[in-house]
Amino acid sequence: MAQSTARIETLGDGVFAIAMTLLVLDLKVPVGATPGKLLDAAILLGPQLAAYVVSFMVLAVYWIGHHNQFHLIASTDRTLLWINIFFLMSIAFVPFSTGLLASYNQEKEAVILYGANVIFSGIALYLHWVYASGKGNLIHPNTPKSVIYITKVRILTGIGFYIVTTAIAFLSTRISLVLFAALPFMYMFRSRVDNYFKEDDSDR
């Protein structure tokens, strides 16, 4: 009997919800600001606010990717369960690496750790899809090969971008941080996968 994906999706949504919520805890309301100095105190939160926005968007990209995969995955097995566990473990680590990045954004070690975190997440998501659409044979049988391929390409593109962005931290942490912020915007545009979902829904 095929194993349902319902509990995996529920666990995934829960981990993402908690990780996204934990990100905001590094934003502390300024305390003890003298009259007329509240704006100056708030400006000091700039690095924490920037790290929050970037990481929230990164997590959003990974949640959408994870969500889209389970629109195509029909069932699961033990191997996929463990790949999913490692993916979620990496996602749950993002609030910590984000906090480190916010506090030490000029230190390349903090940027590299953050980069390694999001790269590992991408690799886990890629393996998740490769197994489900390949050896695991867990996706819906009518899924076009073009959709399988473009999903792999989109994940690999993100991984490659994050590898380059992390490497740039050895030269300039500022440029690296700007690039981390830029990638999520690329995934806001529709892809052939989105078009397939729309066509699939209209056929039902």
Model confidence at 201, pLDDT cuts 50, 70, 90, reads: low
Q: 161: which DSSP letter?
A: H
Question: Which residue's entry shows tokens 């996929």?
Answer: 80
Structure pTM? Answer: 0.88
* Residue 104 maps to a domain: yes
* Mean pLDDT, residues 17-31: 84
1, part of any domain: no
Answer yes or no: is 82 within a domain: yes
Report the C-alpha dihedral over residues 67, 71, 73, 77, rounded to 10 degrees.
Answer: 50
Please say if the pLDDT value at position 36 is more than 70: no
Q: Give the pLDDT of residue 32.
A: 63
- Domain assignment of residue 82, given as a range: 6-202
Over residues 132-187, the pLDDT tens digits come to 999 999 999 888 898 999 999 999 999 999 999 999 999 999 899 999 988 888 87
Whole-number average pLDDT of the chain: 87
Q: Six-digit token pair at 191?
A: 């892809």
Amino acid at 66: H
In a domain, 152, yes or no: yes
Tokens of 40: 């100056």
Residue with token string 């912020």: 181
Give the rounded distance of the alpha carbon of 17 from its chain centre.
12
Residue 18: pLDDT over 50: yes
Q: Bigger pLDDT: 49 or 55?
A: 55
In degrees and rounded to multiples of 5, residue 28 shows phi and psi of -105, 135
The verdict on residue 194 lying in a domain is yes
Q: Average pLDDT for residues 106-127, to the nearest whole number?
A: 95
Q: Is the pLDDT of residue 117 over 50?
A: yes
Q: What span, in angstroms and rounded, lies between the C-alpha atoms of 199 and 64?
A: 18
Q: Is residue 171 part of a domain?
A: yes
- Say if residue 43 is exposed, middle or buried (CB neighbours under 10 Å; 0-12, 13-18, 19+): exposed
Q: What is the mean pLDDT of residues 20-38?
A: 75
- Which pLDDT band holds residue 63 (cuts at 50, 70, 90)? very high
Task: Evaluate whether residue 155 is within a structural domain.
Answer: yes
Question: According to the model, what pLDDT value does residue 89 have?
Answer: 97
More confident residue, 105 or 12: 12
Q: How confident is the model at residue 204 (pLDDT cuts 50, 70, 90)?
A: very low
What's the number of domains the chain is made of?
1
Share of the chain above pLDDT 70, in %: 85
Token code pair at residue 98? 């984000």
In a domain, 75, yes or no: yes
Please check the confidence at residue 46 and state whether its pLDDT lies above 60.
yes
